[in-house]
Structures are given as structure tokens and as C-alpha cells.
Structure 1
């Protein structure tokens, strides 16, 4: 079908039908085809500009038009809209300004903003001038409110879009036009504000709000130094008057629109402080803004405390007040942090900060703020107590998941932390005095709530006042006795707070003796037979237990007497808690507890924990499946590690779970594969020697290629799994299926991160010790392209010398075990032998430890002695250097007759095999460590080849394969030192 206005109308009519049918599908396909046809977007614009057409057709046309601008307006795009068509479109984008349908107008504004993003200022330099001119005409000449409203919608979208530009001239050009736009917007705002506050005309109120919304965006984005623009200063001064007026007469006006006004003023001030705090401080009205919000916090504190509404107007305003004060305090505390472009104002800034410090943030105000926060904003509200009573789990989980930016109490807590940090000298003694004198008897709910609020300040001050307080003394004399009180049901409020205090302070200041007392207290809080220990107290205790156990100074031997009882209580609680979030706290705490207490958790306790995994895996509903399953995977991993030689007990559960998490076709792959891979790695590492070659575990390897391709962000984990298989079942790497795995790994080599590269080196070292004489393995190495990727890695001119030297260790392994095969592979893969071997010798000294140097020398001696009779010239050239380096090495190392040496026991190529063992001697070696060290002891020539004898044997072999004259000629290439040492060998 050819593109024409009539045909387009027909297709749009079919495509916009309310019933889905074949004609509608064909129409949509036709629209898709027309996207790249010249004139299509111009005709779409013509359709939506025609107000005689049905709304649904115009709506579809504007949507297609807007999406087409995104895809084809930029000149560099394939099938880009031509310059002529773009000019035609741009010439009439403002023809819809009197449109009555607001939603259609918003879509039009989006389309215009996207055109402006690409064309302003180069192809549309008069954009802001034209908009300012239109606004002036609509308001002051024709009194066209609809067009004014629509123009303001368009302008707001344009400012927002261009403000996000970080590269190019658009934002800078907008700043040059900002004074023109701001001037007309301020005039409109003042005119409409005066009118609607007198007449209460909601239409004018809405239009005035759009003016304010535009000003809120363009003033922070359009001016580098707003305080130097008189119009802006006067406008901001007026806004604070208007804010005070609207707040004082809150009930007089339409509440929804009024609240949007007040929030918009607040957003303007917050954005100004965030983008340019210096300029805000220097505004003539800045002090009035600050004091206004301070007054709001004080005057509305009781109302906010007693409010039961969500997103209450005064609470939202209080959030903005805390945000403004927080940013100003930080600015004062950091002495202005003057930027380079504002250094000329340093004296002014210093004076302004001094004024704010002395006139606003006085010691008296700081103390008042602290009291205000304690008495009203940190206290649990009546609505909180009601929710706690009716739905304790729901309330607790909601409290723990709220953001400080959107809830008043978390916001007050965050603000208080800044307050105590910035004004530590003023508040430290004040807070400690509150604790010592303010913790009265628990004779009423109100007193308990105040006490909880005071204790909250102590909790939040852990990082600030630790040097001024003895936490251990307070714990024994105040917090533990308080936590053990059960005379009132409301004591649970303080039990919860004491848990949070311990969580925040245990990592700051807490002795071993105090920790033991904490274990006893937490056991008390988790007891099922105490009615005051409700769900909230138990969740708080569970979280605190995790924080204490996961702390750096945790001592598992001190914890051992309490271990089994904690585990039993946690397992019981997993059945008692109803909500997913609550169960997650339990599972995550169990995982940490098992991990940190390894190997002190007894076998039966570990088995008891293991039993809950399949139970909750199967019970989890579709809504919470992934998050519960993820936590259970972590529990199972910790159990596998702790069971160690008994980890086979987990296999019947772990293997199906790994398949569920890591199979490409699994519905949980995206969400659970990372946890699944971690579990898989633990299963392999801790599998005992007696249970090798389990076919179910071997079959899991089929999922490795997909994991390598699709999970590059956790590539080190997947490579570690492959390395574990090299020790668990080396036969896998001698089968045809390994070629794909090797090919994928080879593709990562040139851009591998250091951690992935180190694991690769360890993996290949293991495989080459085991399989370098295996023809199938060698064929896979070459056929897959992995070998040539390894060669290219070391020959790349920009490659790190240290990293390349480690790759040569792998070549040394192959050369030592089979120099004939090694040279044949180099020939097959057309390697530049001169560059390859010269590089090898040159990089020898970058091996900083004896073990790696010996591996190099064994490989070089083998390949040189075998290759010289094959008439490979470069090997003649490097022989003297190899022999000399061998003698130098032998002077440094004192090998035993069997070739062993203590210096060879460290710097293993499987770097993390001994991880943590030196930190925790209680932990037994896991199966993989045993397998690896067994492999080295039995098969690694580093341990069982005497280097002196090896050199001698190879020299004699070389002599036997050459004529005397040729051999003597080669020996003559050595220097006197080497010749003398060679004579001593014979």
C-alpha cells in the first residue's frame, strides 16, 4: 500500500480499533513498514493536528509520531528523517497550543522536547525566544488560558529534557536563554498568583502552578550563580512569603493543589542547595528560608506525631525541612567547599557561613533541635503502636525496609546522625546526660516512648561519642537490666531498642565479656514462653544476633556454649514467622552463624538445619520463590562448607537445586544462578575423596558452557567450578565435549580481569600436570583455539610482563612433559618461534619465586635439549642462557636429592587453595585441598625432579644425539662460568 494521507487514516483507523483481529494486526504491520518511508512522520503530524478526527486516531498518530522522533530524527540513524521533512514538521509543532485534551497535549510536549534535544541550538536557535513571545501574547494580549497552559507544559518538558544533556552545547545554550524565559515566567507567576489567591479560581491556580514548576526547573539548571540575578533573588524572596501565606491558610485553599505548591517551593530550595550551595547561602532570602522550615518543624511536630495519614501534608513538608537543614549543616560544617568557579566569592561565602553559624545554627538552636527530635520525631507514634499490636511482623518489616527520605522517623534519625557528627562538642554531653538522668521508671507508655527515643539517640551516636563513653559499663548497668524487665507489656519497646543499640555498638566498642552477656540476653529475647517477646522483639534479636556473629571481633569459642540453643530457636522460629521477610532474616542469620562457627557446629545440628531447606524450598509461593530460594541456597552453601568431609549429606538436596538454579531453561536462572554457582563450587570443593566421580555431579558440567557465555559478571566463580572439576574428575577434559568450554575460555583471555586470569592459570596448571601426555586433551586444547589464544596473549606487545610470565609457566609444563608434542603444536599453529622463545627467556626473571622459576627451567631445558637435534636455530641461540640461568638458580636453592625444597611449598598456582587456613587452624582441609596437594606430591616434577641431575641427563642426551664436533661447537657458545659448572657435572 502506498503512503498517502487517506491511506494513513484508513490504516490508523484499523489499528486503533477496540477489538483485536487480523485487520488490526495487518494495520500495525503496515505502520511499521511506513516508518522508513519519506513523509510518513509529516503525515502523522497532520493527522494528530486535525481536531475533526476521532480522538483515538489522533492519539495513535501522536504516539507513533513521538516514537518515530526517538528512532529517526537523529541524522546519523539509518532511515533518518530528511532535513526537508524535519523543517516542515518543526514549522508547525506549536500549532496545537489550543488543544483541549490534556493527555494528547502531554504526548505532543514529549515529542517537541525530543526534537529540541536534537535540534537546539544549531537547527532551532529561536526555540526559547518563540516560547517566551507566545507566553507574553497569550497572557497579556489575548488572555488565552488554554494556550498558556499548554505552552507551559511544553516548556517544562523541554527544560527537563535539555537539563539532562551532559555533552554538547544544548545545556549551555539554554542557560544563555534562561534570563529571557525566567523573566516572562516570573511575570506570569506573579500575575496568576495574585489573581487566584483572591478569586480562588482553580484553573488559574493550575496555570500558576505550571509557571512555578517551570521556574523550579530552570532556575537551578539555567543559572550558574542564581544569587547574582536580581529577578531570581526577588522571585525567591517572594516564594518564601507565598509559602508562609499558604501554610498559614492551609484550610482555605484546595488542599491537593496547595500541597503541590508547597512541595514545589520545597523542591526548588532543595535543588538549589544541591546544585549550588554557595549560591543558595548567598541569596538574600536564604536565612528566611531556613528559619521558616525550622519553625514548621517546631510548630507542626505534635500534629505530625499524632497524624495517622500516609503521606500527610505536614509530614512531607517536615521531610523537606530536614533535607534542607541537613544540606545546609553539611555545607557549613565543610566550610563552604568552594568550587573553582566560585573562588572569587570566597570572602562572601566565608562571611555568609559565619552569619549562618552565629545567627541561625547557634548552640541554643542545636540543643532545641535535639530536644525536638527526641520528644516528637524519634518517638514511636500512636499509629505505630497500633500497627505493632495488630500486625507485629508486617509493621516490623515495613520499618526495616523504609527509606529515610520518605518516612519521617527514619528521616529524623538520619538528620540526628548529622547533627551529632557536625556538633559533637555541643551534643555529646547533652546526650549522655539525657541517658543518665532521663531513663526514669517504666511507669507509663509515654515515659517508655520517651526513654526509647533517648536510647535511639545513643544508638545513632555510636560513631561519634564512642571515645566519651564506656559501652561495656552501660551495657551491664543500664541496657541488660532494662532488657530483662517484664513488668509491662510495653517493655517490648525497649527490648527492641536495646537490640538495635547492640547492633550499632558491637563493632565500635564491646569486650569479649560483654559479648557473652549479649548472647545470654538475646537467648532471653528469643524464648517462646515470654509473651512480651513478640514477633518484633524476636526479629530485632535475630538481626542483632547476625550483626554480633558477623562482626570482625567475633570469637566462636566464646559463642560455642550457646550455639545449639540459638540454632534450635531459629529453626523453631522459621515455622512461627508468617512473612517471607521474617523467614529471610532467620535463614540469613543461620547461614552466617554456620559459616562463622565452622567447624564448631556439631554434626546433628547441621543435619537439623539441612532438613529445613527442602521444606521451605517446596513451600515457597510463586510470589516469594526467588528471594526465599536465594537465601536457602546460601544456607545450603554454609552447611556444605561446615559439614566438610560429611558434605555428601547435602548432595541429594544440592544437586537438584543447582540444576534448578543454573540450567539455562530454568525459570529461576536470572534470579538464582549466582547463588546456584556459589553452591555448586562449594559442593565440588568440599566433596570428600571417598565420593569422587558421582555421575550426577559430573553431569552438571553440561551447564558450564552456558554459564561461561552468559554470566560474565561472575566469571571467576564459574572458572573456579571448572578448576574444581579438573581435580574432581579430570577425565571430563579428555572428552570431545570439552572443546566448546575451551573455546569460550579462549575468547575471554585477552580481556580477562586479574582474578579470572589467576584462576585460569591455576586451572590449566592442574590440567597440564594431569593430562599433558593425553592425546585427546591435547587435541581439545589445539582444536578449540585455546592454545593459540594463550600464545597470542604472551606475544601481544602491550601485555603485562608479569602476567605473560605466568602464562609461560603453562607452556613450561607442556614442554617438560612432552617436548615433542609441544614443538609439534607450535609448528601446527604457525607460531613465530624466534619471538616466542626469546620472549620466554626474557620474561624468566619476572617469576619472583623459586617454584615458578624451576617450572620454567624444567620446560626450557626439556624443549632445548629435544629441539636442537631437530635443527631449530632459535634453540641453539637460547641454550647458553638457559643453562646459565639454571646454574644461577641452583646457587640460590638448596634442593634435596629427590628434588624437593621447602621454598617450593608456597606460591602455588592455585592461589586461594590455602585461603583462611592460616587464620583459623580449627578448620580441617577440604576435599579439594587434599586432592590438589596429593596431585602435586605425586605428579608435580617440581617436587620429585632433581634439577642438577635433570640438567645433566638432558645435556648427556643432547650429546648422544649429536656428532662430537656439533656438540662441542654448541658448548663453546657458553661463557666461562657455565663451562666450568658443566665440567663439574661430568
Structure 2
């Protein structure tokens, strides 16, 4: 930048940057960004926005550019930061008179924020004259300068109050002590002025000016009292301010009536002022409950008047009512005010006094009145609600929360009602029952809309506390005698009651509904789902159906007659819905129905399956809807038991690729549901040839997903397990090999639970029988793991699960190939630079010493078979541990051999042909109606083909003993036998001849 022409160049660039033409604006904005790190740029900006003769748009842009530069470059350690001498000059110029009489309010606001950002870094150490300068400006006789000084000081206090270091908090407390009294006097002065001017009918501009000053000073006081005192009640000024709040609010509410017709801005400004008064009360109560004790009574009386009396409610407005109800709830829930009557002396006297005040004001009669008013006034649907219902029933229905309870009247009213209920349960229950009896005795004319709205509100209240009314309300009787009759009234106004009744059905189905009544409830909900019904009612019925199905007492047999009709009606509603959120919700309900009813839905899904591809394409920009579609497909695949029908195959394969391919952007949102679908698809595939190429192509995503995140390792292992049972050779010759290499790389850094899961997967590789020439393919794939399997992972206390798996894997390797076992020992010894015999002796010692930690009979048997194999290995160290080996084999035989009626012993694991192959198989014993998946069948077949269930351990051991006798000679063999402990030898001879 040329120093001789800086001002003109920057001014011209700002002019161009404020142009509406994008072709002119973009280069200028880029140039301004380049200059942000140039020395001298910010003084030029300051001189431009200080010049009131320049166009206001240009000045505003200069102020915003300066403010953004402060964010990036004012910190002392900021790269390319503003120099200290430049900062010093800027701070001095920012307090110039021209800035404190800024005529344009938008620019004044930007300047106030700008100065506050600098103050957060520099005040008071680097900028000690900032606060005194602003206080002096507030004392001047120039109204505009007073206004701008208050505006700026408000933003400064707001910025400083957010600092959280103890030193910063101490500085803010010192600032509060210095300025609180003066700001309080300003607030009191301008509050009285604007209230008097409103009564006198002064002009709007004058009232607005003074009201703004009162509001700014009030905002300052709110920050100071909440963040600037340790105990506000110990400050005379703070206590005086708090005691004035409710009087000022009452006066302001009276004046608000007089402002109607004086302009929207002035009315909104007055309402904002009133709201900030209540915010002071709420903030103080939240942070300093014991300092607020003297205000508990005024707060409750104030709230009771303006929320629960006709005169007060006439003066109130919605946002103010919400604040008052929030204040009431905060007092009721304040933990400091809840103390045991029996321990008053051990509690803070202020807390005891607050409790007594609450009890004195909130009498039984007052609580009853509050409850009745909340239900019959605040819980009513408003004319705006009904207008939205008429204009857009779907939006009305899907906006179930209707905003947060802190900001919106109806959720706030519900929240306060629940708080009252739990604080005064018996009183509120009696009042609710009284209200319910009243409306049950009075039939409502369909044309009597106020009474219908009243009934809806009472039903809402009863539903909100349904769990607590378990013993008070007989829902079966209520539904049978009244609700079911009201559902049949099809008048337009009665849609309100039908919608609420649907909600009640869903709510009470989880609380207290007899099994006999449930079919009638299902039938009622079906009628409410009819396409002739109002959309909001249909969506409420959809929600209720979801709640009745997702319940512990749900019976699929009871629901079976309704499955077809439900699917048809929900599918029709799904197609009619316009909003993606609505479609997503309906799909979730359909998924739940499929999940809870299993194959009962198989004959009713064809239309849905035809529609889902269209919906998938429609939802390309709505990832949450796509998640719902994937979740629905998961349940449909599980329910149908297959997936490769012409309707499903292209959709499922396309969805899986989209959801599990790391190169697809949407996989971030769809991955978890996509993995669940992938698993379900593999488990439901009946034979390997179905879409084999596509499924193997998908398997190529597994290694990449493992590199990206281990969050879904459990699902990845389940998917790999399914591949191993479905197409082991194709999978391990293809992507499976790379996947196992990734798993091997991760083992060293994995927690023990993860290691156990991976070793279980490795065991599947050894169990799966593969045809020649790939009979050793499973061993080849997991071969890199064997070094870790042999050496172990335990540090400190042994992990029984891991020990069991390691010894099982080593035993299986022994059974498959002794040379490969010896080769694994040799490679392990090379990797850790030790003698192979040392590795083998350590492994033998571990097998003999820790086999007691193995509790599963199947694993104990496989280890026994492995030890039997070693007997004939002709390895010297094996025979050196012959007594320990035979003792362990004997204990294993004691565990698994069974005695028949004739006294003969048989291998119990050979005899028992019903062996659980998976968790689902075990579950089927308790749930015989559960359909066995194709994966379960494959897993059971693999288990029954395993050596555990096909090799008799007694016969196998006998053969090994005979071979050992032949190898060693009779004399040496006899010595070995004599080395066995007599007790073990006696037990061993019960099973084999030795």
C-alpha cells in the first residue's frame, strides 16, 4: 500500500466492496482481506468510520472490517498481529467524541461490539481510561452521547462478564463495586422518566430514547449483579435493586397498555424491558438462591397474580407469562429450598425461611387453583394452533414438542404442571380426578369448540401424569365407556378429541391396559389411520401404534390379524406425507412393526418394497430419511428371511454400497445402519451363489472401514463371521485376507475385549472345512496372528476368556498339522530371539497350569485333544511333563464323559446332538416361535461338523497311548505311567486302558 495515498485507496475499495454488483464486490472484498495484516490499515479504517460525512454503508463496512480484524489480530500471540504502538493509538482514538455521538444506530452497535472485543483483551491493564471515559460521557448533558456511552458500556460489561479465570472474575467484581451504584441511579432515573412520559402522553421519539437508556442500564445491572457479587444480599445497592424489580415490572405492565397504537417498535421495546426485569430475577435465583430468599414471596405473589388471576392475565403477554412460569418452576425445584422438616436446625436459616415462605403462600387452595388454571387455560390449543392445523396439518402434527419449555408457552405450562404435580402430588391428583369426572359427566356438543378444547387439555394433563395415576384411573373402563364412543364422532371439531385419544391410547398402553382390551385398541387406531381421517389424527395414531407395539406386554399373536391393514394404511400415509421428517417417522414405525412381528409381515410388504427405491432417490439430500430407509430394510430383511427378490435386490445392493463405501460422502451418516443391513443380508442369504460377485465386491469395503474407524469393529467382525460361513474360500482368497492383516496390525493396541472377539473370528477360520486345494486356507489367513496367540497378551491378572481362546486355537492347529504347529513355534522364537524349546515349554506349562481357568466343556475337550496329539510328537520336553499332561487330560475326561445306564462311559459331546451354535440358537430354546435364520442354520451345521462333536476323545486318547507305547517301548512307557499321580491314574483307567 502506498502510504501517500492509503486513505483514498482504502475508501475507494470500501465503496466498491459495498456495491451490490458481485463482479465489483468480490475483488474489493478480497483486497480488504489482503490488507488485514498490513500495518496502518486499521487507523485508516477508524478515520473512515469516524467521518460522518461518508456514506453510512461504507462506514458500516469499515467498522465491520475493523471488528473482524480485532477478532483475528488483536491478541498478543496472534500471527501477523497488530503492533503495540498501533494498538495504543487506536485505543486512544476509539474514545474520541465523534465516535460517542455516532448518529447511525447500526454503526453505533458495531462500534460498541468492536470496543468490547478490545476491552476483553486490554481492560483494565492496557486500557485503564476506558471505563472512566465512558462514565464521564454518561454524565454529559448530550442525550446522544449518554445513549452511545450506555450502549458501549453494556457491550463491554457483557464481554468482561464472560471471562472465567479467577483473576478476571476478581477484576470484574472490583468493576462492579465501582460502577454499580452509579448505573443503578441511571437506571432508576430513566425508568421513572419513561414511565412518567408514557402516562403524560409524550411523543414516541422521546419515550423511545429514555426507554432505550433504561433498558441498556438494566442490561448492565443484570450482568453486574449475576457475575459481579459473591453474595448480592450483602450489598445494600444490590438488595435495593432486586427489591425494585417487581414494582418496576408492575408499573411497566400498566404502561404497556397505554403504548398500544404508539408503534410496534416502542411496544416491543417496553416488552423487552419487562422481560429483562424477569431475567434479573431468574438469573439471581439460579446463581444465588440464598441471596434470593427475601424475593421468594414477592416472586410467588407476582407470578400468582399475573399468571393465575383474570386481572393480571389481562395485563400479561405471552413471553412475559413464560418467564413468570419459569420463575415459579425455578422456585419449586430449587434444591436449597427443599429441606427435611426434622433437620431444620442443621440447615441454613435462609433455606428454612424460604421453605416456610413457600409453604405459607402455596397453600392447598392456591395449588388447586394453579393446577386448574394451567390445565384449563394454558394447555388449551389456541386459535393460532388451529389455524396452523387447518393450513398445514402435517406441520402441526410433526411439531410435537412445540418448542422448548423455556421459551414457548404450552411446553412451559406442561413443565410447570408436572413440577406442581410432583411437588404436591396428592393435591393435584384430586384436582385432576375432579376435572376428569366433570367432563365425563358432561357430553360435549360437537359445535361447542371451547368445551372440546377444554376436554382436550384435561385429557392432555391426565396423559402427562399417566404413570402416577395408575391406581386412580381405570383406563379400560374409561376407554370402553367414553373414549371409544368419542372416536366415532366424525364432526370436524371432534378431530381434536380423536387426536388426543390416539395419544392417550399410546401413553396408557405403557402404563395400564389389560391384554383383553388391546385388540380393541388396535382396531380403534386402524380406524384413525384411515385415509378419510384428518392427517394430524392419522399421524397421532401412527405414534400411538408405535407406543403400543414397542411395549413389554406386546403380543405378536394378538396383533397378527391387524398386520395387513396396518401395513396398507401406514404405506398410504407414507406416500401422502410431504415432509421428509414425517416420512422418516412413519418408516421408523414400519420398521418396528416388522421387527416385533417377524415373518408375519412377509405377505404385506410388496408395495412398500416397490416404493422404497423411489423414496431413496427422493431423499438424496436428506440423510436422516435415508437412515430410516436403511433401518427399515434391516427389519424387513430379518422379518422376511430373504432379500434377493426382484424388488429388493437392486435396492439393497445399491444402499449397501452407498452406506459402507468410504468413498461415498453419505457413508458418514449411513454407516452404522448400513453395517446392520449388511449383516442382515449375509445372514439371510440362503446359498452362496446368490449375488456372490456383488457381495464379494462389498467385502472390499471392510479393510477401508477398519482403517477409518474402529467404532464399529463388533459389527465388522459379525459381517466377517457371516462371510466365513457363507462363502469362506471366495472371501478368504479375496478381500478377507487383507481384512485379517488389518486385524493383526491392530491386535497389539487393542483392549482385551477386542482381542477376544478377533480370536473368536480366527477360531471360525480354523473350524470351517474347505475343499482341496484350499484346505489350509484358514490357517494361512490367520498365520500372522499365531505369534501373538502363542506369546499371549496378559499383563498382570490372567484373562480366562483369552486364555481359553488361545489354548483352543493352538490345539486346533495341532490337530490340523503338527508340522505347521512346530513351524509357528519356530517363527515365534525367531521373532523374540529365544530358543524354540523354551517357547514350547512355556506353552506346555501354561496349558497345564491354567487349564482350570477354562470352563466351557467344548474348549476343555479341544485342549485335551491337543494335549493328546503332543504325546506322540517325540519332543523331549513333552514327555518331561507327561504326568502333568495326563493329570489335565484325566480332569477333562471327568468333565465330559457321561455314564450310560449300563455303566459304560461315552463322550458327552458326541452324544448331545442339540448344541447351541449361536446366541440366537440358545434363545430359540426359550422362544420356540423364533424363526431360525440361514446364518443360524450354517452356524449350527458348522458346530455339529466340528471335531468336538465328531471325534471321541476316549478313542482318540487310546490311539495316542498305543502309538506312544510303540514309540517309547514298553519299559520306558511303564516308567511314564508310574510317574502319573496314583489318584489320576486310577481315574484315567476308568476311561482307557493304560
TM-score (norm 1): 0.84
Q: Check the 8 A contact 1:112/1:158 in 2, yes or no.
A: no
Q: Deviations over 1:915-948 (max 9, x none)?
A: 753453212210111111111111x222223334
1:71-220 equivalences in 2 (<5 Å): 73=77, 89=87, 93=91, 96-98=94-96, 99=99, 100=102, 101-102=107-108, 104-105=110-111, 108-109=114-115, 111-112=117-118, 115=121, 126=125, 133-140=132-139, 144-145=145-146, 146-160=148-162, 162-163=163-164, 170-171=168-169, 174=172, 178-180=176-178, 182-198=180-196, 200=206, 202-220=208-226
1:659-698 equivalences in 2 (<5 Å): 659-689=657-687, 694-698=692-696
Match of 1:924 in 2: 931
Deviation at 1:275, TM superposition (A): 3.5
SS of residue in 2 equivalent to 1:246: helix
| Pair 1:554–1:108, CA change in 2 (3 A) | same
Deviation at 1:109, TM superposition (A): 4.7
Q: Tell me the distance in 2 between the aligned counterparts of 1:191 and 1:652.
A: 75
Q: Tell me the distance in 2 between the aligned counterparts of 1:544 and 1:749.
A: 47
SS of residue in 2 equivalent to 1:922: coil
Match of 1:298 in 2: 308
Across the aligned residues of Structure 1 and Structure 2, the Cα RMSD in angstroms comes to 4.2
The one of 270, 295, 299 aligned to 1:289: 299
Deviation at 1:791, TM superposition (A): 6.3
Match of 2:482 in 1: 478
Pairing 1:708–2:717 present: no
Q: Deviations over 1:594-629 (max 9, x none)?
A: 21111323x4313343223223223x2555x43332
Q: Check the 8 A contact 2:660/2:670 in 1, yes or no.
A: yes
Q: Deviations over 1:466-524 (max 9, x none)?
A: 122222111111211222223x3212111111111111111110001111110121122
Match of 1:308 in 2: none
Pairing 1:947–2:948 present: no
Match of 1:628 in 2: 625
Q: Check the 8 A contact 1:380/1:449 in 2, yes or no.
A: yes
Match of 2:943 in 1: 936
Pairing 1:450–2:454 present: yes
Deviation at 1:805, TM superposition (A): 4.4
| The 10-residue stretch of structure 1 (248-257 or 48-57) with the greater mean CA deviation from structure 2 | 48-57
Q: Tell me the distance in 2 between the aligned counterparts of 1:915 and 1:398.
A: 43
Pairing 1:63–2:68 present: yes
Q: Check the 8 A contact 1:45/1:62 in 2, yes or no.
A: no
Match of 2:279 in 1: 267
SS of residue in 2 equivalent to 1:599: helix
| Pair 1:802–1:219, CA change in 2 (3 A) | farther
Q: Tell me the distance in 2 between the aligned counterparts of 1:188 and 1:804.
A: 78
Deviation at 1:667, TM superposition (A): 4.1
| Pair 1:802–1:343, CA change in 2 (3 A) | farther
| The 10-residue stretch of structure 1 (182-191 or 669-678) with the greater mean CA deviation from structure 2 | 182-191
SS of residue in 1 equivalent to 2:942: helix
Q: Tell me the distance in 2 between the aligned counterparts of 1:586 and 1:858.
A: 55
Q: Check the 8 A contact 1:266/1:320 in 2, yes or no.
A: yes
1:555-566 equivalences in 2 (<5 Å): 555-566=555-566
Match of 1:596 in 2: 596
Q: Tell me the distance in 2 between the aligned counterparts of 1:975 and 1:81.
A: 84
Match of 2:390 in 1: 389
Match of 2:410 in 1: 409
| Pair 1:106–1:882, CA change in 2 (3 A) | farther
The one of 888, 892, 897 aligned to 2:895: 892
The one of 223, 228, 233 aligned to 1:227: 233
1:316-715 equivalences in 2 (<5 Å): 316-331=319-334, 335-336=338-339, 346-358=348-360, 360-399=361-400, 402-439=403-440, 440-443=442-445, 444-486=448-490, 488-529=491-532, 533-601=533-601, 603-618=602-617, 620=618, 622=620, 625-645=622-642, 648=645, 650-689=648-687, 694-715=692-713
SS of residue in 2 equivalent to 1:917: helix
Q: Check the 8 A contact 2:502/2:540 in 1, yes or no.
A: yes
| The 10-residue stretch of structure 1 (229-238 or 973-982) with the greater mean CA deviation from structure 2 | 973-982
Q: Tell me the distance in 2 between the aligned counterparts of 1:46 and 1:836.
A: 79
Deviation at 1:540, TM superposition (A): 1.1
Count of matched residue pairs: 932
| The 10-residue stretch of structure 1 (822-831 or 262-271) with the greater mean CA deviation from structure 2 | 822-831
Deviation at 1:44, TM superposition (A): 6.3
SS of residue in 2 equivalent to 1:794: coil
Deviation at 1:858, TM superposition (A): 3.6
| Pair 1:344–1:515, CA change in 2 (3 A) | same
Q: Deviations over 1:278-330 (max 9, x none)?
A: 443x2x223212321232223579979xxxxxxx9821112222222122222
Match of 1:309 in 2: none
Q: Check the 8 A contact 1:189/1:211 in 2, yes or no.
A: yes
Q: Tell me the distance in 2 between the aligned counterparts of 1:674 and 1:917.
A: 27
Deviation at 1:868, TM superposition (A): 6.2
| The 10-residue stretch of structure 1 (534-543 or 648-657) with the greater mean CA deviation from structure 2 | 648-657
| The 10-residue stretch of structure 1 (183-192 or 561-570) with the greater mean CA deviation from structure 2 | 183-192
Deviation at 1:633, TM superposition (A): 1.9
| Pair 1:757–1:180, CA change in 2 (3 A) | farther
**Structure 2 unaligned spans of 5+:** 18-22, 52-57, 198-205, 260-265, 899-904
Q: Tell me the distance in 1 between the aligned counterparts of 2:433 and 2:127.
A: 58
Q: Tell me the distance in 1 between the aligned counterparts of 2:880 and 2:14.
A: 78
SS of residue in 1 equivalent to 2:492: coil
| Pair 1:44–1:826, CA change in 2 (3 A) | farther
Q: Deviations over 1:734-783 (max 9, x none)?
A: 32643442243345545657875564344222122127985555444355
Q: Tell me the distance in 1 between the aligned counterparts of 2:370 and 2:117.
A: 48
Q: Tell me the distance in 1 between the aligned counterparts of 2:709 and 2:680.
A: 18
Q: Check the 8 A contact 1:900/1:945 in 2, yes or no.
A: no
| Pair 1:197–1:822, CA change in 2 (3 A) | farther
Q: Check the 8 A contact 2:70/2:118 in 1, yes or no.
A: no
Q: Tell me the distance in 2 between the aligned counterparts of 1:721 and 1:329.
A: 53
Q: Check the 8 A contact 2:510/2:551 in 1, yes or no.
A: yes
Q: Check the 8 A contact 1:564/1:605 in 2, yes or no.
A: yes
| Pair 1:315–1:676, CA change in 2 (3 A) | same
Pairing 1:244–2:250 present: yes
Q: Check the 8 A contact 1:175/1:222 in 2, yes or no.
A: yes
Q: Tell me the distance in 1 between the aligned counterparts of 2:35 and 2:659.
A: 41
Q: Tell me the distance in 2 between the aligned counterparts of 1:571 and 1:476.
A: 29
TM-score (norm 2): 0.83
SS of residue in 1 equivalent to 2:599: coil
Q: Check the 8 A contact 2:683/2:722 in 1, yes or no.
A: yes
Deviation at 1:677, TM superposition (A): 1.8
Deviation at 1:837, TM superposition (A): 5.9
Q: Tell me the distance in 1 between the aligned counterparts of 2:478 and 2:10.
A: 78
| The 10-residue stretch of structure 1 (919-928 or 791-800) with the greater mean CA deviation from structure 2 | 791-800
Q: Deviations over 1:156-188 (max 9, x none)?
A: 12212x24x6xx765566557654454554344
| Pair 1:828–1:551, CA change in 2 (3 A) | same
Structure label with greater radius of gyration: 2
Q: Deviations over 1:365-411 (max 9, x none)?
A: 11111221222111111222233233222322234564333332232
**Structure 1 unaligned spans of 5+:** 35-39, 117-123, 305-311
